[in-house]
Amino acid sequence: MTRIDAKFAELRAANKKAFVAYVMAGDPNYATSLEIVKGLPAAGVDIIELGLPFTDPMADGSTIQLAGQRALAAGMTLNQTLSIAAELRKTDDTTPIVLMGYYNPIYSRGVERFLVQAKDAGIDALIIVDLPPEEDDELCIPAQAAGLNFIRLATPTTDAKRLPKVLQNTSGFVYYVSVTGTTGAAAAQAVDVAPEVARIKASTDLPVIVGFGVRTPQTAQDIAGVADGTVVGSAIVEKIGAGEPVADILAFVKTLADGAHRA
């Protein structure tokens, strides 16, 4: 059982939905990013999505793109990203960490070497948005053999023919993208999301977590109410980008987590 499996079992036992927070590693710099990450569990975050900075983040809107640029400009690397996870693990051995990003930095490092390093750092799962199921042999299968979950995205355009392919080697949870387009796009609507979540859950026993377009405590509550939990990224990253104090950022995160947990 991975940390993600254990977390969902714990949430089900408590009749709670999951709140997942995304932050870009190294944004705006290593020290501040580490302070934010270390503060997320106490702010109510059940699962941390840690963005791996990359020069060409094609699935991300301007907010996340700018966060990646800030991190890279501050000298953030793959090693330092894994270091943030390792530092959290010194005081927290239960909160799952999902590394989210693109394949190029991993390919450049070498898959086998990367997986050893990621596992050693305490990473629990990967979301690699530019590796389709047809490329599962590249990373998905080796990652699962190494004990890491491999989480796949499903979208409003993932039709009945495509869905089984998306689900075939997915583990941990399914990330449903609530709106078409990039991160930070239009607001998610529970009435639109609910039938899509039901459709996915009819084909898998995995939890379905909904992200993209969730920016407020009320939306977090509404979306978590029709899924197994929700993800917020851009709304948090905007506050980091604005240079708000870490305490204020974490206080905002807590309002989102409280919203999701009320569902």
Catalytic residue at 244? no
Catalytic residue at 10? no
How far CA 48 is from CA of 35, 72, 92, in Å, comes to: 13, 20, 12
Q: Cα separation of 8 and 131, whole Å?
A: 25
Cβ contact 24:43 at 8 Å: no
Quick one: which of 27, 132, 15 has its CA closest to 75?
Answer: 27
Catalytic residue among 10, 27, 46, 49: 49
Q: Determine phi and psi for 99, rounding to 5 degrees.
A: -90, 120
Q: How many CB atoms lie within 10 A of CB 135?
A: 13
CATH superfamily, domain 3-262, is: Aldolase class I (3.20.20.70)
Cβ contact 24:65 at 8 Å: no
- The token duo for 84 is 């943030």
Distance of alpha carbon 76 from the chain centroid: 19
Q: Cα separation of 99 and 96, whole Å?
A: 10
Number of separate helices (H) and strands (E) present in the chain: 12, 9
Q: Cα separation of 154 and 100, whole Å?
A: 15
pLDDT at 61: 85
Q: What is the pLDDT along the chain (263 residues), one digit of tens a residue?
A: 899 999 999 999 999 999 999 999 999 999 999 999 999 999 999 999 999 999 998 878 899 999 999 999 999 999 999 999 999 999 999 999 999 999 999 999 999 999 999 999 999 999 999 999 999 999 999 999 999 999 999 999 999 999 999 999 999 999 999 876 555 556 788 999 999 999 999 999 999 999 988 999 999 999 999 999 999 999 999 999 999 999 999 999 999 999 999 99
Catalytic residue among 60, 196, 228, 238: 60
H helix or E strand, kind and range, residue 103: helix 103-109
Cβ contact 81:25 at 8 Å: yes
pLDDT at 60: 85
Quick one: which of 250, 247, 225 has its CA closest to 236?
Answer: 250
Listed by start position, the domains of the chain span 3-262
The residue with tokens 């078409």 is 180
Give pTM, 2 decimals.
0.96
pLDDT at 172: 98
Quick one: which of 11, 53, 20 has its CA closest to 253?
Answer: 20
pLDDT at 151: 98
